[in-house]
């Protein structure tokens, strides 16, 4: 059963039992059939219903744009998203839907994707979700970030806790000083990606590095894990009390 309660008393304190304190999930893979997220319209609808039941009022879904692996153009993403919006409306699901993208930063992005314009979120804030390789920082990383910013976008680095080759908060602090924002994957604090990633996520929370929090939802296994997270009283309290998340500003 999905939980519809916002808070309830546990052990004498009010504890969040859903994700309504975030309001908006700004990182997910719900557009069917265009990346490694939802495969079919039916699967997309099930995931969207689940996120709504877990307390999210708005979903900004972010398909991968990653060279030849997920060579999604702006037009492709928008076209498929319109079909998803219609399916959600036809199903009568009460949720706000928007689309952006998760851009893989490499030379292909710099030479081919960026010049054509990016799908951003946050209105005139023009936030752009970006990721880097799990194996190491990309070549020309500084130039890529500068090029994004020089076009009026604000880069948001997805799940920094998952880049195992870089676990020093000071490195990400320097990026923040340069105007790069940071996004936490919800399931990282649960240990879904492993104990070292969990440790990174908690350490970065302590260092107040994060600006956004997202599900990075791909499939039903992620959704079941999020339901487990809702049962973790101390983790939920820690997430709700963190003051740096800007998700509510996206509603």
CATH number reported for the structural domain that contains residue 237 in this entry = 3.20.20.140
d(CA 125, CA 120): 9
The answer to whether residue 12 sits within a structural domain is: no
pLDDT for residue 10 is more than 90: no
* Six-digit token string for 42: 């039916």
Kindly report, residue by residue over 175-208, the tens digit of the pLDDT.
Answer: 999 999 999 999 999 999 999 999 999 999 999 9
Q: How many domains does the chain have?
A: 1
Q: Strand 212-214's sheet: what is its strand order? A: 64-65, 102-104, 127-131, 154-158, 181-185, 212-214
The answer to whether residue 67 sits within a structural domain is: yes
The answer to whether residue 76 sits within a structural domain is: yes
Kindly report, residue by residue over 67-81, the tens digit of the pLDDT.
Answer: 878 999 999 999 999
The answer to whether residue 103 sits within a structural domain is: yes
The answer to whether residue 11 sits within a structural domain is: no
- State the residue for tokens 């309830």: 8
The answer to whether residue 6 sits within a structural domain is: no
pLDDT at 27: 98
Mean pLDDT of 113-119: 97
Listed as own residue / partner, the contacts of 9-15 with beta carbons closer than 8 Å and 24 or more positions apart are 10/233, 11/233, 13/237, 15/233, 15/236, 15/237, 15/240
Residue 123 CB-density burial (10 A; 0-12 exposed, 13-18 middle, 19+ buried): exposed
The answer to whether residue 9 sits within a structural domain is: no
Q: What 3-state DSSP class applies to 226?
A: helix
Residue-wise burial string across 205-242, b where 16 or more C-beta atoms lie within 10 A, e elsewhere: beeebbbbbbbbbbeeebbebbbebbeeeebbeebbee
The phi, psi pair for 85, rounded to 5°, reads: -60, -40
Kindly report, residue by residue over 41-61, the tens digit of the pLDDT.
Answer: 999 999 999 999 999 999 999
- State the residue for tokens 């037009």: 75
Question: Up-side HSE of residue 71: CA atoms within 13 Å toward CB?
Answer: 5
pLDDT for residue 229 is more than 60: yes
The answer to whether residue 5 sits within a structural domain is: no
Enclosing domain of residue 29: 21-250
d(CA 65, CA 24): 22
Q: Give the pTM.
A: 0.93
d(CA 100, CA 192): 25
- In eight-state DSSP terms, residue 137 is P
């Amino acid at each position: 059963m999905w939980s519809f309660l916002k808070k309830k008393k546990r052990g004498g304190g009010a504890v969040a039992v859903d994700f309504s304190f975030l309001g908006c999930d700004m990182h997910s893979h719900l557009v069917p059939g265009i990346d490694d997220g939802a495969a079919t319209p039916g699967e997309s609808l099930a995931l969207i219903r689940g996120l709504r039941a877990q307390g999210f009022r708005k979903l900004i879904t972010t398909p991968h744009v990653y060279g030849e692996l997920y060579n999604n153009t702006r037009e492709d993403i928008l076209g498929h998203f319109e079909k998803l919006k219609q399916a959600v409306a036809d199903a009568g699901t009460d949720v706000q839907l928007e689309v952006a993208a998760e851009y893989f930063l490499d030379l292909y992005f710099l030479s081919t994707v960026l010049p054509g314009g990016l799908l951003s979120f946050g209105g005139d804030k023009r936030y752009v979700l970006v990721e880097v390789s799990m194996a190491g920082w990309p070549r020309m990383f500084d130039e890529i970030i500068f090029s994004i910013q020089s076009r009026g976008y604000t880069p948001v680095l997805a799940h920094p806790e998952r880049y195992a080759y870089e676990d020093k908060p000071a490195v990400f602090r320097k990026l923040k000083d340069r105007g790069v924002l940071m996004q936490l994957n919800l399931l990282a604090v649960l240990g879904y990606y492993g104990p070292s990633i969990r440790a990174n996520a908690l350490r970065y929370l302590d260092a107040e590095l994060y600006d956004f929090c997202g599900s990075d939802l791909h499939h039903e296994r992620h959704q079941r894990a999020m339901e487990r997270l809702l049962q973790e009283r101390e983790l939920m309290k820690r997430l709700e009390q963190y003051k740096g998340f800007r998700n509510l500003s996206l509603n």
